[in-house]
Amino acid sequence: MKLHLTARGIRATIEAPIADKPVDEAQKAIAMIFIQRHIHDALQTKYLAEEDPRTLWLALADRFNHQKDIYLPKVRHDWQHFRFQDFQFVNEYNFEVCRICSLLKLYKVELTKSDILEKTYSTFYATNIVLQQQYRA
């Protein structure tokens, strides 16, 4: 939503007001129409009385801005419990590594290349311990 408002040049309508840059009422109306068109019908009804896009934006953020609390534990669990040997193809494993790394990066948890390699080495089959040692060296 922020990207669309920025592209339309009306992102200032949902951000903290700046004293020397007042927001035009026409821009506020455009932002309200745009936001209300893109939220669920039930939410449109609930926030029908809102007339300021910043107030509406803050109310929606308060209601829905808990993704980190919800998804970060699951992503960490996925990182700790997936293994190389659980995948039939290397590409599937690589896709899962990229997916989990991207989600962790979204939540400001950085994994280094050595963390990713160590995860791969530590999840090899037990019969491939020699390979683990060769790759680590």
| Closest of 25, 28, 21, 79 to residue 57, by C-alpha | 28
Cα angle for residues 34, 57, 49 (degrees, 5° grid): 75
The structural domains of the chain, with segments of one domain joined by +, span: 2-64, 67-136
Q: Is 129 helix (H, G, I), strand (E, B) or coil?
A: helix
**61-115 confidence digits (pLDDT tens):** 998 888 778 888 999 999 998 888 888 898 999 999 999 999 999 888 888 988 8
For residue 59, the model assigns a pLDDT of 92
- Summary count for the chain: helices (H), strands (E): 8, 0
Looking at residue 16, its pLDDT comes to 87
Confidence of residue 135 (pLDDT cuts 50, 70, 90): low
User: Between 57 and 130, where is the model more confident?
Assistant: 57
DSSP structure string for 83-102: -GGG-SSHHHHHHHHHHHHH
The residue among 129 and 115 whose pLDDT is bigger is 115
